Amino acid sequence: MRADRGGRVRRLVVAPHCDDEVLGCGGLLAKYADQCGVVVLAEPDTLRTKEFEEAREVLGYSASWLLNLPDGSVGADMTALVGMVDHLIDTCRPEEVYLPFPSLHQDHVAAYEAGMRASRMAMGTRHWFTPTVLVYDVAAYDLTLYPSDLRWNYFESLTEDQVDRKAEAFTCYQSQVAAGPHACNELKSTARSLGSQRQTAFAEQYALVRTIR
Task: Kindly give the pairing relationship between strand 132-136 and strand 202-210.
Answer: antiparallel
Q: Determine the 3-state secondary structure of 66 from DSSP.
A: strand
User: 2 pLDDT exceeds 60?
Assistant: no
User: 35 pLDDT exceeds 60?
Assistant: yes
Question: How does DSSP classify residue 11?
Answer: E
User: 155 pLDDT exceeds 50?
Assistant: yes
pLDDT category at 4 given cuts 50, 70, 90 is: low
Is the distance from CB of 59 to CB of 26 less than 8 angstroms?
A: yes
The domain containing residue 38 runs over which residues?
A: 2-210
Q: What is the per-residue pLDDT for 1?
A: 46
The number of domains in the chain is 1
Q: What is the pTM of this model?
A: 0.94
User: 92 pLDDT exceeds 90?
Assistant: yes
Q: What is the mean pLDDT of residues 56-79?
A: 97
CA distance 129 to 86: 10
User: 20 pLDDT exceeds 60?
Assistant: yes
DSSP H or E run through 49: helix 46-59
Is the distance from CB of 114 to CB of 75 less than 8 angstroms?
A: yes
Here the CATH number for the domain that contains residue 119 is 3.40.50.10320
User: 32 pLDDT exceeds 80?
Assistant: yes
pLDDT exceeding 90 applies to what percent of the chain?
82
Q: What is the per-residue pLDDT for 141?
A: 67
pLDDT digits (tens, 9 = 90+) for 117-140: 999 988 776 789 999 999 999 977
Q: What is the mean pLDDT of residues 13-38?
A: 98
Across the chain, what does the average pLDDT equal?
A: 92
